[in-house]
Amino acid sequence: MSPSRRRQANPHLGAYYGILTSAFVSLVISLAMFEQLGWQETWVARAMILVPLALYVVIALGARTLNVEDFFASGRRVPPVYNGAVLAAVLIGGTGFFAYTGTLFFLGFDALAIGLAWTAGLIVSGILFVPYLRKAGAYTMPAFLGQRFRSRFVRAMASVLQLPPAALLLAAEIKVAALIIAMFLPLSHQLAVACVAVIIACVTIVGGMRSLTWSASAQFIVSAVGFAVPLIIVSVLLTNLPAPQLTYGEMFEPLKRSESVTGVSPSAPSELATALPREQPGPSAKPFLQAFGAVSQTDFLTLFLCLTLGAAALPSLLARSGVTSSVADQRRSVAWGVFFVALFAISAPALAAFVRLLMFQDIAQAPANALPSWLNDLSAYRLLFTKDANSDGAIEASELFVARDGIVLALPMAAKLPFVCTVLTAVAGLAIALAAAASHLFTLAGSLADDGIRLVDPRSEVLPRLMVAWVAIAATALAAGVFLAFAEIDVMQVAIMAFASSAAIFFPVLLLAIWWRRCTWLGAVLALGLGFATMATAIAFGDAPIAGQFRLTTVIAALIGAALGLIGGLIGSLLGPKPTPAEQAYFEELRDPSGDALYDRAQRRAAAAASQ
């Protein structure tokens, strides 16, 4: 039995995180009391944000390590429930917390394709990829492909091609976190971006995957508490029951009446590229319950398939495939991740419905000079504005402009909850955005350190691996911070592009590598290359018609790229040289769920040979 298998997780983890949860809840209750005693809102917000941030850094420092296996795979002893929590945090992220819930507010039923796809994608990944990647034991997904095909070129190619999706998601998560910090702390956007970059770089540098795992577990707890508490309170106020996922259907009839009074009428679907709401405040003109009123059935299915394949092959999720003690534990961790993601996916529609009902009930036939107080609160944070375009003295739905990413924060405000609930929600979104950002950062930098440098210096004799990883993390965080300090991106559009890139580039090659014995390095190169070429074409042409009225959007390109990648991988493998005996032996061992990880076994053999 290998040393990594003998080392068990700390048996007191549950107690530690129970204490952490109690401390955070105590902080919220204390600040709620101070608010009632007259504390200024600015001090409440600063305490609520800064104390958890300091806690994340302390946890990361406590998990610091100089051991290579701990740094890249958290010692292969993360319990399933904690790994599942981090998987959910990476998949949802700040983009899901803010942008997806806002998309539900605007599109209603039509936005369910996103949440359902994330859940389905994690299920697909847990069935098709994750157990076998755990058996392989490689620290990165490109390293697995290099070992599977005995090819340095395949490893280098995969390492380069995983940079775009991981970098896009890193930029999106840093922006979300920076917006929250700049909203509640006296910092400019550029300084907020710099603070976020420094925090995630410090968390990742001190302990790699180990410090990332335990700080992200704490961040997941904070995000779960901050998301659930205001939602449950509002559910009790509106339905008398603390189960919003089961009771928000009672609000459909009053919601439809409020929408009718404020001028919301059925709409016709438009192209997917224009149907999804943007970051800037806009009107909500589609009924919440109307099916396929914003996107067509074809676009709904296309978006669902694209995001499902993208989530299944997302590099930042697959990088966590080697952190548990066994293949069985890795399967359990995926099951926990599916549970957490599915719980969020069925809770977010309830939140969007409650916000929509509270908003439209309050503005229905309300005079323009006597609007609800929460409108002013949201306007102060630049999350909403109104415009009485027809000068009739009332505000209709088409005259209420709401920011997509502010819908979560609008819930406690519209429900007239104490200000501490608003900041609690913001802290929850900040926590999950930091967890996802650090994971994407480690995926990028870990690949540079383990794939790029190992190709040049296989034995790490010239440049120590951890030193290279530290430099890569710092450089990547700096590059992301500089980019976001000057660039404007829409986090939902960027996230969809990242998932589409993962679907086109990596899903075909992973499917063939794990499930087809005959696949060779040439087939892998063609699968990667065709997927990337398709996505590059879609991004280069943008929304310009290619053939007649046909537009190659990123979502369509993802499915086309995945299909072409599968076809190219099949043809390249059949026409090229047959797999070598070493490749066939590796494939047979990969399919066996028992025993140690193949990478650990190879490392022990290399160490034994070097000692002789």
Q: Say which range, 113-127, 199-213, 587-601, has the weakest mean pLDDT.
A: 587-601
Separation CA 179–CA 233 (nearest Å): 26
**Secondary structure class of 538 (helix, strand, coil):** helix
H helices of 263-326, in order, are: 272-275, 297-312, 315-318
Count of beta carbons in the 10 Å neighbourhood of residue 369: 7
Burial class (CB in 10 A: 0-12, 13-18, 19+), 60: buried
Bridge partners (DSSP) listed for residue 384: 402
Q: Say which range, 99-108, 338-347, 448-457, 524-533, has the weakest mean pLDDT.
A: 448-457
Tokens standing for 273? Answer: 């590229």
Tens digits of residue pLDDT in 112-140: 999 999 999 999 999 999 999 999 999 99
User: Can you say how many angstroms the Cα of residue 423 is from the centroid of all Cα atoms in its chain?
Assistant: 21
Tens digits of residue pLDDT in 485-511: 888 899 999 999 999 999 999 999 999
CA neighbor of 320 nearest in space, from 207, 444, 441, 443: 443
Tens digits of residue pLDDT in 147-173: 999 999 999 999 999 999 999 999 999
**Secondary structure class of 281 (helix, strand, coil):** coil
CA-based angle 216:342:447, to the nearest 5? 40
CA neighbor of 306 nearest in space, from 13, 555, 590: 555
Q: Model confidence at 5, in pLDDT bands (50, 70, 90)?
A: very low
Q: How many residues does the chain have?
A: 612
Query: Which residues does 550 contact at the CB level (< 8 Å), separation at least 6?
Result: none
Separation CA 498–CA 248 (nearest Å): 32
Tens digits of residue pLDDT in 218-240: 999 999 999 999 999 999 999 99
Q: Are 511 and 566 in contact (CB under 8 A)?
A: yes
Separation CA 288–CA 587 (nearest Å): 49
CA-based angle 218:223:229, to the nearest 5? 125
Tokens standing for 199? Answer: 């925090």
H helices of 313-326, in order, are: 315-318
What was the pLDDT predicted at 369?
Answer: 64
What was the pLDDT predicted at 377?
Answer: 83
Q: Give me the percent of the chain exceeding a pLDDT of 70.
A: 92
Separation CA 85–CA 88 (nearest Å): 5
